[in-house]
Amino acid sequence: MDKKIEFAVAVIGAGPAGLAAAAGAAGAGAKSVVVIDRDNRAGGILNQCIHDGFGLHRYNESLSGPEYAEREKQVLLNYETAGKITILSETFVQDLIPESYGFPLAVMSTGSFRIIRAATVILAMGCRERTAGAISLPGTRPAGILTAGTAQRLMNIQNINVGRRAVIIGSGDIGLIMARRLTLEGAEVAAVTDIQPYPGGLDRNVRQCLHDFNIPLLLSTGVVKVHGNKRVEGITVAQLDSKNRLNLQTSTYIPCDTILLSVGLIPEHELARSAGAALDPATQGPVVDQHLMTTVPGLFACGNVLQVHDLVDFVSEEAEYAGACAAEMALNQFRSTGRVIQSGNTILPIKVGSNLRYVLPHTISKPGRVTLSMRVTAPEINFRVCVARLEKSDNRILLTKTFTRVSPSEMLRFAFNCDTVEPLEVYGESF
């Protein structure tokens, strides 16, 4: 019976999250870490993000995506030469089954299938884009409708032009970045639309990607119909009324040959689900404790598979920590007992209070430093987030953080010294 544990930590995905998780694990003393990616080049989504704006916090520089990835790969080099980290490229992790003894990973690479066994596993598979089907785009389905990320890959890696006149549905950062990219390449962007009354992406991107080129941003605007049989010929959009219904009196036809969708990202959570981890309906990623461990003991998550990030710097920070926690568990608990169990401490839930869409982590199992991440439900000015004891009492508030301005497009993240073992609530309010 071959049940040898080959690796202390297995990391699935070699994007910025996977790379930093591996470095974090090796840095915490893990002597055998494997990073597995289906792609032939490490770096994940960063390889196609040729715009700059990456690394402002981590490297104090405005790098492009591939440059940021390169820096992260450099960090791993020493560990790789020392034989502590192995990167397996062009290898797809198909399944993940927790057993009483470590995790067997079913992996496929060209022409071969095998089982890799690890003491702990870190999920770092990133996320995928919502598609035309996911938002029930009305009208025909001709050629020329693609997600903004697919267009980005075609244009920036494969040198394939996507169209001459585009309308971009959704004003998330990827849509805004692509509006500028198309314009600089000589295509025309007729409009960017969003159903929300505020833009989905960062203010800086609205300014530099749309205003600079006089590209109209149509807010509170929905799609009435896509036109065209073989190829997209145009799109009809209309304003939404106060009840979010299309006001057809405002219908406008915009001729275009391309429609890009930038309508949200969903964590690539299939492996988490097949391993039996609980998912959070708000983030669509796994439920985690303060050590970023899922509800399956020994299975960790970080990066976009855990929560969709807007800044890669936070992805790296989060992933390093997940790596260190996974290594620690593999080195201590696993080595002495041959298994990984949930900590003996009581697990206290964090309640998501008013004005917040989600809060991470979901639970706290022991006092200590906890990094909280969250998103608000709507843009606000002069806003504060309070961390409080769930139990109503006079001095229930443990920490207050104030923000001049908050928006659902920007993740809020701060550390908190948790010295209590009572259930907590995190809520937001304007002041």
Partner 1 sequence: MNLSDQEKHIVEELTCIVCPKSCVLRVEKDKISGAITAIHNANCQRGTAWVTQELLHPTRSVCSSVLVENGTEPLTGVRTNQPVSRDDVFKVMEAIKSCRISAPIAIGEIVLENPGGVPCRVIATRSVDLTLFAAD
By CB under 8 A, name the binding residues for partner 1: 47, 50-52, 57, 62-67, 70, 155-159, 181, 184-185, 203-204, 207-208, 212, 381, 404-405, 410
Counting DSSP H helices and E strands in the chain, the numbers are 8, 27
Q: Which of 380, 393, 390 minimizes the C-alpha distance to 427? A: 390
Nearer to partner 1, 185 or 391 (CB): 185
Map the footprint of ligand FAD across residues 286-305, applying CB under 6 A: 303-305
Binding pattern to ligand FAD, positions 111-150, x when CB under 6 A?
-------------xxx----------------------x-
The entry of partner 1, ligand FAD, none that residue 15 binds, CB within 5 to 8 Å by partner kind: ligand FAD
Joined together, the tokens standing for residue 418 give 């948790």
**Dist CA 331 CA 429 (whole Å):** 42
**Dist CA 156 CA 178 (whole Å):** 10
Q: How far is the CB of 201 from partner 1 (least distance, A)?
A: 12
Q: How far is the CB of 38 from partner 1 (least distance, A)?
A: 17
The entry of partner 1, ligand FAD, none that residue 156 binds, CB within 5 to 8 Å by partner kind: partner 1
The entry of ligand FAD, partner 1, none that residue 341 binds, CB within 5 to 8 Å by partner kind: none
Q: How far is the CB of 408 from partner 1 (least distance, A)?
A: 14
93 binds ligand FAD (CB under 6 A): yes
53, 131, 45, 168 alpha-carbon torsion, rounded to 10°: -30
Which one of 32, 120, 152, 409 is in contact with ligand FAD (CB under 6 A)? 152
Contact 45/15 with Cβ under 8 angstroms? Answer: yes
17 binds ligand FAD (CB under 6 A): yes
CA R_g for the chain: 23
14 binds ligand FAD (CB under 6 A): yes
Lookup result for tokens 């700059």 = 52
The entry of partner 1, ligand FAD, none that residue 64 binds, CB within 5 to 8 Å by partner kind: partner 1
Q: Which amino acid is at 37?
A: D
Joined together, the tokens standing for residue 337 give 């007992």
**Dist CA 19 CA 319 (whole Å):** 8
In this structure, the strands spanning 188-193 and 217-218 are parallel
Which one of 5, 10, 11, 16 is in contact with ligand FAD (CB under 6 A)? 16
Strand order in the sheet with 356-360: 356-360, 368-376, 412-418
The entry of partner 1, ligand FAD, none that residue 153 binds, CB within 5 to 8 Å by partner kind: none
Map the footprint of ligand FAD across residues 238-277, applying CB under 6 A: 268
**Dist CA 44 CA 126 (whole Å):** 8
**Dist CA 144 CA 140 (whole Å):** 11
Contact 18/124 with Cβ under 8 angstroms? Answer: yes
Task: Give me the residues that bind ligand FAD (CB under 6 A), please.
Answer: 12-18, 36-39, 44-46, 49, 51, 53-54, 92-93, 124-126, 149, 152, 173-174, 177, 268, 303-305, 309, 311-313, 315
